[in-house]
Amino acid sequence: MEIENNASILMVVFILFISLFCTCFIFYKTKVHCRCKICHAYVTSSWSFEFDNLCDWYTHLLQNSPTKTIHIHVLHNTITSNHQNVEYMLKTRFENYPKGKAFSAILGDFLGRGIFNVDGDSWRFQRKMACLELGKMSMKAHAFEVVKYEIDHRLTPLLSSCTRKEHQVLDFQDVFRRFSFDVICKFSFGYDPKCLHESFPMSELAIAFDLASQLSAQRAMTTSPLVWKIKRLLNVGSERRLQESINMVNKFANEVIRQRKKLGSCCNHEDLLSRFMAKTKDSIYLRDIVISFLLAGRDTVASSLTGLFWVLAQQPKVVDAIRAEAMMVTQHEAFTSFEQFHELHYLHAVVYEGMRLFPPIQFNSKFCLQDDTLPDGTFVRKGTRVTYHSYAMGRMETIWGSDCLAFKPERWLKDGVFYQENPFKYPVFQAGYRTCLGKEMALVEIKSVILSFLLRFDIEIAYPSLTPRFSPGLTATYAGGLPLRVRERRGKI
């Protein structure tokens, strides 16, 4: 009995010792003791007394920094909104700013060796393969067909039925998330989760996918990776839920791959998975590649549509101009091919302007491999996280002029023709060697939704005093969604 008691006491002492050791280690490693004004505001969240969102506080700090660069010591994070620094990281010294091991560790359980999560040869191989496939005309036509089907058979009927119910308020963020999940699953896997079906079903895959990306993002917000690593080791709390949701996503992906392998080459599938299967037989690798595409193409599109509709619901003149341009290009007929979109310069400018103010990926981090000095003179020590902040960059007077906060599509037009700004001043799709591979598809998807919507419906924001508040996550998500009222435009197609 006494031996048992002693063993219990020893065990408790041991656990206390380990906890104390870990706490001290985390304290030491993360410099949570830094008492500078900025770090203090970050650790105590006192910034939130003055700002709605963390990104607004960072924007304020960056606007007031002479170099447009700041350093958050407790996060070992240098944050910049200086476009020369962005070009330096993403192009000039690309090899010195990889995603790095810390980032791979955060997303590794979820994304494995998928393109989003790797550097070096593995990244080069996947990028080359994906570029070849996504560049093909047949792939672009396939993407357009998938988007068109989802709009004609799901989105438009849903909105029409909504207009028949008086005072009905619809959460457009939810609608766009369902829409883009259906589209990217069909495009990537050839699988239709039917999330936007009239009955608004809850897709178990979508729920597990959301949870996995949310909880993975939370890992990045802890002041030390040791916190989530210990939780993962003990399989407790958020780490346990993360593992469960990852298992669910993997189970689903493995099943689709198994079914597709069984069918062999007998059926001519157009989806991305079938095309990649011709290049590699490694099932886990295939799964990782496709899950990365789901992540890349789902929330980004939904987020940009939500931000754009938030703005459009309050800009009737812009809506009128979009309609007028569409009528001129199509001569009052329906859009039948994606080539027609190239003629819609004003609409293109609206989409770019919307994402300037509300970029779906608000910031992006790399890790510095060797000590370096950025073009603005900021010294960066080896191992530091370096982040460019697209949200803040869209609000910099130094880049966009004194009207930087105004929504002005005209700033993208020269004599009525869309004019592309320096991509390092507008890294919404990233820039340099790792530029987004789905940009064209995303733009066709976004423009198709805006057009089909505005030509047929009027929209009105349900609660005009609402201001955007973002929930933490890998992509900008609007807390509380986007509640809008929809009305059919009488006599219009």
Chain contacts with ligand HEM (rule: CB under 6 A)? 115-116, 127, 130, 293, 296-297, 300-301, 304, 360-361, 364, 428-430, 434, 436-438, 441-442
Alpha helix stretches (DSSP H) within 455-481: none
If the CB atoms of residues 147 and 319 are measured against ligand HEM, the closer one turns out to be 147
> Kind of pairing, strands 385-389 and 77-80?
parallel
| Continuous H helices in 313-438 | 316-330, 345-357, 390-393, 397-400
Comparison of 127 and 231: residue with beta carbon closer to ligand HEM: 127
Residues 158 and 139: their CA atoms lie apart, in Å, by: 27
Question: Do 228 and 220 form a contact (C-beta atoms < 8 A)?
Answer: no
- CB of 39 or CB of 114, closer to ligand HEM: 114
In 3D space, the residue among 265, 426, 234 whose CA is nearest the CA of residue 349 turns out to be 426
Q: Please give the full DSSP string across 167-230, using - where no structure is assigned.
A: T-EEEHHHHHHHHHHHHHHHHHHS----TTSTT----HHHHHHHHHHHHHHHHHHSS-HHHHHH
Taking the least distance from each CB to ligand HEM, the nearer of 38 and 129 is 129
Strand arrangement of the beta sheet that strand 457-461 belongs to: 169-171, 483-488, 457-461
CB of 467 to ligand HEM, least distance (A): 22
- CA 289 – CA 119 distance, rounded (Å): 14
Q: Is 436 annotated as a binding residue?
A: yes
Q: How far is the CB of 41 from ligand HEM (least distance, A)?
A: 27
- Please tell me the distance from the alpha carbon of residue 410 to that of residue 401, in angstroms, as a whole number: 14
Nearer to ligand HEM, 301 or 451 (CB): 301
Q: Toward ligand HEM, which CB reaches closer, 99 or 345? A: 99
| CA gap 350, 319 in Å, rounded | 10
Beta carbon of residue 169, minimum distance to ligand HEM (angstroms, whole number)? 25
Smallest gap, in angstroms, from Cβ of residue 304 to ligand HEM?
4
Least CB distance from residue 183 to ligand HEM, whole Å?
A: 8
Q: Name the residue number minimizing CB distance to ligand HEM.
A: 438
Q: How far is the CB of 428 from ligand HEM (least distance, A)?
A: 5
Q: 162 or 446: whose CB is closer to ligand HEM?
A: 446
> Nearest Cα to 336, choosing from 135, 134, 157, 148?
148
First to last CA, the chain: 84
**Closest distance between ligand HEM and the C-beta of residue 360, in Å?**
4
Binding residues: 436
Binding residues for heme: 436
